[in-house]
C-alpha cells in the first residue's frame, strides 16, 4: 500500500520505518530539504528491540507524495493550521489519518473536504536521535478511529500484524481521543514542570497527592473520565512507563514548543464556567511560562 507520512519528527520517523518494514511503500515529507537528502542517502535507523536501517523515500515537496493510498499526518497540534493549505492538496478520496494529542484538531477536520478522515492515538515511546534515526523506547499501540468515512480504507495498514507496531481500530473517535487526552493531562504537564520521568509521579507521595487533586479537576470537566480512565489506570500507566520521559518534558528539554494549548488549554476551555480549576490553570500558565523563558512563546 502507498503511505505518505507528513512530518519527520520522532513519530514520523518511527511510523515510516515500521510501516516500510511491514512492506508498505512509504514516502516521508520532511520540513527541510537537508533531512530528506540524508534519509534518501542513509535510510532510517530504528533503534530498539530490532535494530535495523530501512530504506524510505523522503521529499521536502508535498507534491511528491503518493496520489493514492493513505496519508498520515504526524505534525504537532500547533503546526496543523499552518499546514492547512497543504492538506487541501491531498487527493480528496485518500484516507487521511491524524495522530495529534488533544482534541483541538477536530475543528480543523470539520473544515476539510475529504471523504475519509481518521483520528488516532499513539501509545509508543519514541525519541528522535538524529535526522535519520529514532529510538523506539516502548511498544504500545496505534489506535485509529473514523472521524468521517469508511474504516476499510485504512484496514490494509495492518497487513503484517507486526507485534512491534500493533494497529487497532476503535469504534468511537470521541471516546478514543478523550481517553488519550485525560492520560496526557495527568502525566505530561506534571512531568514537564518537575522535569521528572513518569514513574516519579506515583513514587513521590507529595506529587501523588497532587495527582489525585488534578484527577478530581479533570473529572469535573469530563464526567466520563471516571469510567473511561479511572485514577487507578493512570497509576498503572505511570508504572508501566516509569522510565519514560513524556513528550512535553522532552519538548521543553529540547527548547521546543509544547502541545499545552491542545491538552490542558482544551480542558480549561471545556470547563469554563463549571469550576475554578486552579491546578489546571496553574499547569497551563506554568508550561507557557517555561516556553516563554526558553524563547518559544511570545
Write the DSSP symbol of residue 262. I
Provide the domain count of the chain.
Answer: 2
Q: Are strands 57-59 and 116-122 parallel, antiparallel or unpaired?
A: unpaired
From 138, 156, 171, give the residue that closes a domain: 171
Within this chain, do residues 143 and 230 fall inside the same structural domain, yes or no? no
Tell me which H or E stretch contains 147.
strand 142-148
Kindly give the interhelix angle for 173-194 and 278-294, rounded to the nearest 10 degrees: 60
DSSP 209-261: HHHHHHHHHHHHH-TTHHHHS-HHHHHHHHHHTTTPPPHHHHHHHTT---SHI
Tell me which H or E stretch contains 269.
helix 266-270
Within this chain, do residues 148 and 90 fall inside the same structural domain, yes or no? yes
Sheet holding 133-138, edge to edge: 52-54, 44-47, 133-138, 125-130
Within this chain, do residues 33 and 107 fall inside the same structural domain, yes or no? yes
For residue 27, give its domain range: 2-171
**pLDDT tens digit at each of 298 positions of the chain:** 999 999 999 999 999 999 999 999 999 999 999 999 999 999 999 999 779 999 999 999 999 999 989 999 999 999 999 999 999 999 998 999 999 999 999 999 999 999 999 999 999 989 999 999 999 988 889 999 999 997 776 666 765 578 899 999 999 999 999 999 999 999 999 999 999 999 999 999 999 999 999 999 999 999 999 999 999 999 999 999 999 899 999 999 999 999 999 999 999 999 987 778 999 999 999 999 999 999 999 9
Exposed, middle or buried: residue 95 (CB in 10 Å: 0-12, 13-18, 19+)?
A: buried
From 104, 137, 171, give the residue that closes a domain: 171
Q: What is the domain-level CATH number for residue 189?
A: 1.10.1040.10
Closest to 246 in 3D by CA, of 285, 296, 198: 198
Within this chain, do residues 209 and 132 fall inside the same structural domain, yes or no? no
Active site residues: 180
Within this chain, do residues 211 and 124 fall inside the same structural domain, yes or no? no
Q: How far apart are CA 298 and CA 296, in angstroms?
A: 7
Within this chain, do residues 183 and 164 fall inside the same structural domain, yes or no? no
187 close to 244: Cβ distance less than 8 angstroms: no
Q: What is the domain-level CATH number for residue 42?
A: 3.40.50.720
For residue 159, how many C-alpha atoms fall within 13 Å in the half-sphere facing its CB? 15
From 110, 136, 171, give the residue that closes a domain: 171
Beta-carbon contacts of residue 41 (< 8 Å; ≥ 6 apart): none
Within this chain, do residues 112 and 246 fall inside the same structural domain, yes or no? no
Task: Identify the pLDDT of residue 199.
Answer: 97
Within this chain, do residues 130 and 182 fall inside the same structural domain, yes or no? no
Within this chain, do residues 53 and 21 fall inside the same structural domain, yes or no? yes
Return the residue matching grid coordinates 530501512: 54
For residue 63, how many C-alpha atoms fall within 13 Å in the half-sphere facing its CB? 0
Q: How far apart are CA 237 and CA 241, in angstroms?
A: 6
Within this chain, do residues 151 and 250 fall inside the same structural domain, yes or no? no
Q: Which 3 state secondary structure label does DSSP give 70? A: strand
What's the sign of the alpha-carbon dihedral 289, 294, 297, 298?
Answer: positive
Task: Identify the pLDDT of residue 157.
Answer: 75
Within this chain, do residues 166 and 128 fall inside the same structural domain, yes or no? yes
Task: Identify the pLDDT of residue 266.
Answer: 96
Q: How far apart are CA 245 and CA 252, in angstroms?
A: 11
Q: How far apart are CA 125 and CA 46, in angstroms?
A: 13
Within this chain, do residues 149 and 12 fall inside the same structural domain, yes or no? yes
Write the DSSP symbol of residue 58. E
Amino acid at each position: 500500500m502507498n503511505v505518505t507520512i507528513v512530518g519527520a519528527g520522532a513519530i514520523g520517523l518511527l511510523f515510516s520505518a515500521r510501516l516500510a518494514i511491514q512492506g508498505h511503500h512509504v514516502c516521508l515529507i520532511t520540513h527541510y530539504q537537508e533531512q530528506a537528502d540524508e534519509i534518501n542517502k542513509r535510510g532510517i535507523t530504528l533503534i530498539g528491540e530490532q535494530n535495523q536501517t530501512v530504506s524510505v523515500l523522503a521529499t521536502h515537496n508535498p507534491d511528491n507524495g503518493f496520489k493514492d493510498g493513505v496519508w498520515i499526518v504526524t505534525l504537532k497540534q500547533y503546526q496543523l493550521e499552518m499546514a492547512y493549505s497543504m492538506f487541501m492538496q491531498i487527493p480528496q478520496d485518500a484516507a487521511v489519518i491524524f495522530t495529534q494529542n488533544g482534541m483541538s484538531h477536530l475543528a480543523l477536520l470539520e473544515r476539510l473536504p475529504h471523504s475519509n478522515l481518521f483520528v488516532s492515538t499513539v501509545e509508543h515511546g519514541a525519541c528522535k536521535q538524529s535526522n535519520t534515526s529514532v529510538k523506539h523506547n516502548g511498544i504500545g499501540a496505534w489506535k485509529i478511529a473514523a472521524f468521517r468515512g469508511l474504516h476499510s480504507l485504512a484496514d490494509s495498514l495492518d497487513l503484517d500484524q507486526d507485534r512491534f507496531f500493533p494497529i487497532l481500530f476503535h469504534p468511537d473517535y470521541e471516546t478514543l481521543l478523550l481517553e488519550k487526552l485525560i492520560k496526557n493531562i495527568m502525566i505530561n504537564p506534571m512531568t514537564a514542570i518537575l522535569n521528572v520521568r513518569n514513574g516519579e509521579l506515583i513514587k513521590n507521595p507529595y506529587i501523588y497527592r497532587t495527582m489525585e487533586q488534578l484527577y478530581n479537576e479533570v473529572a469535573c470537566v469530563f464526567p466520563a473520565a471516571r469510567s473511561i480512565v479511572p485514577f487507578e489506570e493512570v497509576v498503572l500507566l505511570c508504572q508501566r512507563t516509569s522510565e519514560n520521559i513524556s513528550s512535553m518534558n522532552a519538548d521543553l528539554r529540547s527548547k521546543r514548543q509544547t502541545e499545552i494549548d491542545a491538552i490542558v488549554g482544551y480542558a480549561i476551555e471545556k470547563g469554563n464556567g463549571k469550576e475554578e480549576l486552579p491546578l489546571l490553570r496553574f499547569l497551563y500558565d506554568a508550561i507557557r511560562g517555561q516556553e516563554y523563558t526558553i524563547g518559544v512563546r511570545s
